[in-house]
Copies of this chain bind each other. A is one copy, B any other.
Amino acid sequence: MLAAARARFAEDGFTATTIRRVAADAGVDASLVMQFFRSKNELFAAVMSVPADALTRFSAAFEGADDGLGERVVRAFLEVWEEDVRSSQPLMAMLRGALANDQANEQLRGFLQERLLVDALASRSADADLTLRVGVVSSMLVGLVVGRGVVGVPTLTGAEREQLIALVGPAVQSVLVPTPSTVHDKGADR
């Protein structure tokens, strides 16, 4: 039931998905879905549990040397969103839903702000400046994934993932690990 709902929310978005359709996909009666989840909102909330290993992969990308950090983050991000269906479906459902539905919006906000940031920063000393930098990177990478996967901008869908990583990696690096002259003089802290 959850798997059917996950696939349906990811494909059709929150608004167009119906309990009836999810039930049909799962081969059960709609009343059974209602009995378990009570409402489309609660079903959505249950579906939104992003697999823990997706978050683990993000935080792993942030671990280690500053050198190559941008590339590691972009690679982990594109892999989790585009390759691994189990993680990309709930993320994509959350994203589509966020623009149509306040509950999903709340969830995406929570996810971006807390789970992603906290996990990403667990291995680094997180000051407000670094939190902002990770927030900027996350939202820019979500934009890239949306342009490629949801909107389907031909230029972006036509690009190889490695080509994107080569292009975006240095940009992400420059946001995450600013050189002293980039933002303000922080001394030689890279």
Contact = CB atoms under 8 A, between A and B. Distances in A.
Interface stretch (A25-33, A41-49, A128-136): A128-136
A120 to B, nearest CB: 12
B167 A155 contact: no
Given A99-B146, A139-B148, A140-B144, 18 more contacts: A13-B100, A16-B100, A98-B150, A99-B100, A105-B150, A105-B152, A108-B151, A109-B152, A112-B147, A112-B151, A113-B155, A132-B155, A133-B167, A135-B156, A136-B164, A142-B146, A146-B146, A167-B175
A135 B95 CA distance: 20
A167 B132 contact: yes
A168 interface: yes
Copies in the complex: 2
Nearest to A164: B136
A113 B148 CA distance: 11
Contacts of A175: 167-168, 170-171
Contact of A100 (B96, B139, B142): B96
A182 interface: yes
Interface residue SS majority, chain A: helix
A23 interface: no
A166 interface: yes
23 contacts: A13-B99, A15-B100, A99-B100, A99-B146, A105-B150, A109-B152, A112-B151, A113-B153, A132-B155, A132-B159, A133-B167, A135-B153, A135-B155, A136-B144, A136-B164, A136-B167, A138-B147, A138-B153, A139-B144, A139-B148, A140-B143, A143-B146, A168-B175
